[in-house]
Amino acid sequence: MTTMGLVQNPAPPAPLAPARARRTRVRRVVAALPIVVFGLYVVAAIIGPLFIDYSPVGGELDDRLLPPGSVLSDGGTALFGTDALGRDLFGQVVYGARTSVFIGTLVVLISALVGLAVGTVAGYRGGTTDLVASRVIDVLLAFPGILLAIVIAGVFDRSLAIVVIALSVTNWIGFARLSRSMAMSLRERDWVKSATVMGVRRRRIIARHILPFIAGPTFALATTEFAGAILAEASLSFLGLGLPSASVSWGQTIAAGKEYLASAWWISAIPGIALALLVICVGFTGDRLTRYFGRRR
C-alpha cells in the first residue's frame, strides 16, 4: 500500500516545464524565421548564380512549358519548370533575386542618404531651409510614388540607372520626414544646446549629437522601404518599363507567364511566390527593428 502510494503520489511538475520551454523555443524560432528567410534570399542573390552553369535567358524550344521537376532535353532537371521559350525558371528565380536585392539595396541606399541629409539639415536648422524642404516634400507626396516612377521610367530608355532613379525619386521622402522630425526634437535637447553654447560647429553637432540617434530608426525604415522598392521594381518590370529585356527580373517572368495561367501556372506563380515571401519577410524584419528602436528611443 505504502509503496503504491509512493509510486503514485509524486505528481511531477517536470513535464510541464519542458513543454513551456519548448513553446518559448518554438516562438523564438518562429520570430527569427523572417530574418532567416531574408538572409537566405540575400545569400541566394549573392552566390546563387555561381552555381548555375547555364544562362537563365537561354532555352531550347523543345523544353517549353515543362512543369516543375521535368527532365530537360539536355538531361538536366528543371526544378521549377520552364517557360514558354523553354527557359529554366529556377535560374530565373535565382537571377531575379539578385536583381531585386541589388536594385532594392541601391534604391534604399540612395534614398536613405538623400533623405537623411535633407531631413536632418532641415529639422536641425529650421527656418527657411526647413520651409523649402517641407514644401518640396509636400508636393512630392501629392503624387503616388509608383505613378511618378512609371512616368519617369516610361519617358526614358529602359536601363538599370533609370529604374533606380525612378524609384528613388519618391522613396527618399520617408527618410526625410523621419529624420526631420527626429532632428527637430533632438535639437531641443540640452546636450545639443550645451554643445551649441560651447561653440561646437554645426556640422559636428549634427554628426555627433543628432545623427547617432536617428541612425537606428532609419535602419529600421530602410528595411521596410527595401521591401517597397523590390515590389515597385517588379511592378515596373511587369509593365515592361523596368530593366532591359536582356536582364532577368521577377516582374518580367511573371508578365511572361500571364498568358499561360490556365495551362502553365508555374511560370507566374513561382516568381510571384518568391517575390511575396521576400516582401513579407522583409516587412516583418522591418517591423521588429522599428519596434526595437522605438523602445530604445
Q: Please report, as ranges, the residues that interact with other proteins according to CB under 8 A.
A: 189-191, 193-202, 204, 208-209, 212-213
What is the smallest separation between the CB atom of 297 and other proteins, expressed in angstroms?
11
Q: In terms of CB distance, is 89 or 116 closer to other proteins?
A: 116
What is the smallest separation between the CB atom of 212 and other proteins, expressed in angstroms?
5
Q: In terms of CB distance, is 177 or 209 closer to other proteins?
A: 209
Name the residue type at position 5: G
Query: How many whole angstroms separate alpha carbon 179 and alpha carbon 217?
Result: 9
Q: In terms of CB distance, is 25 or 202 closer to other proteins?
A: 202
Q: In terms of CB distance, is 49 or 216 closer to other proteins?
A: 216
What is the smallest separation between the CB atom of 194 and other proteins, expressed in angstroms?
6
Query: Which of 47, 64, 52 minimizes the C-alpha distance to 92?
Result: 52
What is the smallest separation between the CB atom of 288 and other proteins, expressed in angstroms?
22
The dihedral built from the CA positions of residue 289, 291, 292 and 295, taken in this order, carries a sign that is positive
What is the smallest separation between the CB atom of 56 and other proteins, expressed in angstroms?
47
Q: In terms of CB distance, is 22 or 189 closer to other proteins?
A: 189
Number of CB atoms found within 10 A of residue 5's CB: 9
What is the smallest separation between the CB atom of 291 and other proteins, expressed in angstroms?
20
Q: How many CA atoms within 13 Å lie on the side-chain side of 205?
A: 22
Cβ 169 vs Cβ 236: under 8 Å:
no
DSSP 209: I
Query: How many whole angstroms separate alpha carbon 261 and alpha carbon 161?
Result: 32
Q: How far out from the chain centre does Cα 160 lie?
A: 18
For 126, the grid coordinates are 529650421
| Helix count and strand count (H, E) for the chain | 11, 2
What is the smallest separation between the CB atom of 110 and other proteins, expressed in angstroms?
27
User: Hey, what's the torsion of the CAs at 64, 67, 73, 79, to 10 degrees?
Assistant: 120
Q: In terms of CB distance, is 53 or 188 closer to other proteins?
A: 188
Q: In terms of CB distance, is 121 or 166 closer to other proteins?
A: 121
* DSSP conformation letters of 253-270: HHHHTGGGTTT-THHHHH
Q: Are strands 70-71 and 77-78 parallel, antiparallel or unpaired?
A: antiparallel
